[in-house]
Structure 1
Amino acid sequence: MTADYESVLLSEPITFLIGPDKKQFTMHKSVVANLSKSLHQLLNGDMEEAKKRCVSWDDTDEQTFIRFGQWAYTGGYKAEGPEVLLDSSQIATSAQDSLTVIKQEPTQPTAAIFQNSAQHCGRDWAVGSQGTPCVTCKTSIVSSYCSSCRCVRFTHCAKCRKRAVAAPSSPLQSMCTAFASNAEYAPPTTVRHVPRKNTESCEVYTEVFLSHAKLYVLADKYDIPVLRKLSLHSLYETLVHFTLYQDRIGDVVSLVRYSFENTIESDRLRSLLVGYCACFAKELSKGEEFQELMSECPDFAYGLVKELGRYLN
C-alpha cells in the first residue's frame, strides 16, 4: 500500500480539458493509466495526449468527470441528489391562509417489494414470527421468517402487497421478481449501493439517474470494467427502490432517452432499463412523455415489447 501510494504521488500530472468550455482538471498519470488498457495506451503511447500530457474530453460534463476522479482515487463516488420542486403545501396566497393539499399517490409500490421472496433460500418458513414495519406505508406488521437464511417472509403489509399485484402467480409478479433479484447487476465488491429513497412526487430524480448513466457511458467508452459494473449496479439499486409517481414518469423517460442515444445494441444499460420499464409498463404508458419516447426510440420500443412477450407467453 505504501509503495502504491508513493508511486501515485511521484507520478507526473495529467491535465484534462473537460466539456465544451474545456475546464481544466489535473490527475496523477499513474492513477488514470492503471484504470484500463485503453487509458494506459492513451497516456503512455505515441498519441498527442501522451506527448503533451493533456487530454481533451469535450463530450464529458464536469460533474461526471469529478465523479470519475472521485472513484479513481477512492473507489467510490457520490451520486447527484434530487431536485425538490415547490409543492402546493409551500405556496402561500393572499386570497387564502391555507390550501387543501392533495398528496399524489405512487402509481405502484417499488420493485423492491419483490426482493425478499426472491432472496429466500427456499426452506420452510419458521412457526415463530418477527415484528417489522411495512417498507411502503410503515404500518407495523408481524411476519413469519426463515430460520435458515433469516429472510422475513413479508416486508410489506397485506394492503400494499394487494396493491402491487392481485394474483400471486401473475406474469407481472414473475417479471418484477426476476428484475428485483437479478444477480447480473451485483456490485463489483461486497459493498452494495444504498440509494436515497424518494417519498414525494415533488422529488425530481432525472439528474440522480443520469449521474449513474453518464458515468457508465464514460466507463464503457474507455473500457473500465469495475467502474462500469459499479455505476450499473448503483443505477439498478436506485431504480429498484424508486417510487414511481405520475409526475416522475419524465425522469425515467430522460434516463431511457439518454441511455439509448449513447449506447449500442445489446448493451447492459439498455437491458436494465427495458427490464425496469417492463415492470411498470402499464403506469408508464399513461404519460405523454413515455408515449413520445416509444415513437422516437424504436430500439427501446422493440426491446420493451420483446421483454413483455417473454412473460406473457
Structure 2
Amino acid sequence: MNVDLEIIESPMFTLLVGPDKRQMRIHSVILANSSHVLSALVRGNMREARERRSDWSHVNEEAFIRFSQFLYGRDYKVPPPVVFDITPEEHDGVELDNGEPRTPPEDWTRQQESREQCWPRFAPLYIQSLQDYDWGKADFSNALATWAPTPNHSSEDWAPFFECQVQLYLLADMYLVEPLIQLVLLRTYIFLRSFELLESDIDTIIEFIHRVYESTAPRYGDRVDPLRDLVSRYAATVARELENHEAFRQLLEDHDSFAADLRTACQLEAPEGNWLS
C-alpha cells in the first residue's frame, strides 16, 4: 500500500513535541501541504511516514501551538504583555492616567520624533527587501486586519511577544513553511513600527536582537536572513537610544555580523548624518 492511501486510512500524524515529548496530533494532509519539507516527512519513504509520527522534542510547545493555529486558520495568537505595577518614583514621577499610556520623559520624546523621520524610508525599503526573497505570494490581509498592536507603556513587558516571534520564525524556517515566515515577519514589522521605545524597553529590545542573531543563520539562500534584516534595520532607527547602554555595546562585540548588518542598515535607513558618522 502506498503512503497516500495510508494517509487516507490514517488521517492523523503524531508529533512528539518539547523535551517531555508531549503527543500532539495533526491532520496529515494539512501538515503535508504546508511545505515540501513536511510533505516529505509525511508522504516520503522515511520511518516517520511509515510510523505516522515524528520526534519534535526540539520544538517549543507554545511555538507548536501557534504553528498549528496557523496551519488550520492562516493566523496565530500572540501573547499579551506582562503587566506589572510601577510606582511614580520609578519613572521620574510620571503617573499613569486612568490606564492610558505613560508619557515618556521629554528627551525620549525628542528621540522618538527623530526616529519617526527614519520610518518613511524604512517602510518601502523593507517591504521591497521582503519581495526580493524567492517566496510564493501569500495574502494575509485578513490576519493583519484583525490584529493591530495597542499603544505600549512602561507598565508592560513585551518580551513574551518578541520571544514568540523568534520561536515561531525558527520553527517555520526549519521546515520552510514560507507563508508563516512571511506572516511572522510582517507582524513583527507592523509591531515595531508602532512600538514606542521607552527606556524600560531597552533591555527587551537588546535581548530580542541577541536572540535573533544567536538563533538564525547569517544567510537565507544568497541573501541576509530576513529576520536579521528586519531587526538590523529597526536597530538603525533607534541606535541613538541604544548606543549608551552597556548591553548594546556588548551585543556589538558578541555578534560581529550584527555590527556589520547594522552599519549597512544605517546607510540604508539614514544615509545622511546617521549615528555612525
* TM-score by shorter chain over 0.5: yes
AA in 2 matched with 1:231 = V
What are the ranges of 5 or more consecutive residues in structure 2 without an aligned counterpart?
A: 1-6, 96-102, 132-137, 219-223, 273-277
AA in 2 matched with 1:277 = A
Aligned residue for 1:55, secondary structure, equals strand
1:1-313 equivalence runs, <5 A: 12-88=11-87, 101-103=93-95, 105=104, 108=108, 164-165=113-114, 175-181=118-124, 182-184=126-128, 188-191=139-142, 192=144, 194-265=147-218, 266-310=224-268, 311-312=270-271
Q: Distance in 2 between matches of 1:22 and 1:75?
A: 25
Q: Percent identity of the aligned residues?
A: 28
Q: Distance in 1 between matches of 2:261 and 2:156?
A: 28
Aligned residue for 2:264, secondary structure, equals helix
Is the CA contact 1:204–1:248 (under 8 Å) kept in the aligned structure 2?
A: yes
Taking a change above 3 Å as real, the CA distance of residues 237 and 108 of structure 1, as seen in their structure-2 partners, is farther
CA RMSD in angstroms comes to 2.8
Is the CA contact 2:112–2:196 (under 8 Å) kept in the aligned structure 1?
A: no
AA in 1 matched with 2:141 = T
Taking a change above 3 Å as real, the CA distance of residues 302 and 255 of structure 1, as seen in their structure-2 partners, is same
Q: Distance in 2 between matches of 1:89 and 1:76?
A: 38
AA in 1 matched with 2:58 = D
Shift of 1:175: 3.6
Is the CA contact 2:119–2:193 (under 8 Å) kept in the aligned structure 1?
A: no
Q: Distance in 2 between matches of 1:174 and 1:215?
A: 31
What are the ranges of 5 or more consecutive residues in structure 1 without an aligned counterpart?
A: 1-7, 92-99, 110-159, 166-171
Q: Distance in 1 between matches of 2:246 and 2:200?
A: 11
Q: Distance in 2 between matches of 1:305 and 1:275?
A: 9
Taking a change above 3 Å as real, the CA distance of residues 163 and 298 of structure 1, as seen in their structure-2 partners, is closer
Taking a change above 3 Å as real, the CA distance of residues 66 and 238 of structure 1, as seen in their structure-2 partners, is same
Aligned residue for 1:244, secondary structure, equals coil
Is the CA contact 1:38–1:223 (under 8 Å) kept in the aligned structure 2?
A: yes
1:95-117 C-alpha deviation (Å, 9 max, x unpaired): xxxxx9435616656xxxxxxxx
Q: Distance in 1 between matches of 2:239 and 2:119?
A: 11
Higher deviation after alignment, 296-305 or 8-17:
8-17
TM-score, normalising length: structure 1: 0.69
Is the CA contact 1:85–1:203 (under 8 Å) kept in the aligned structure 2?
A: yes
Shift of 1:267: 0.4
Shift of 1:220: 1.2
The structure with the larger Rg is: 1
Is the CA contact 1:188–1:229 (under 8 Å) kept in the aligned structure 2?
A: no
Aligned residue for 2:211, secondary structure, equals helix
Shift of 1:257: 1.3
Aligned residue for 2:141, secondary structure, equals coil
AA in 2 matched with 1:28 = H
AA in 2 matched with 1:190 = S
1:222-243 C-alpha deviation (Å, 9 max, x unpaired): 1111111011101111111111
4+ aligned runs moved over 3 Å, structure 1? 8-11, 100-104, 106-109, 172-175, 184-188, 309-313
Taking a change above 3 Å as real, the CA distance of residues 57 and 90 of structure 1, as seen in their structure-2 partners, is farther
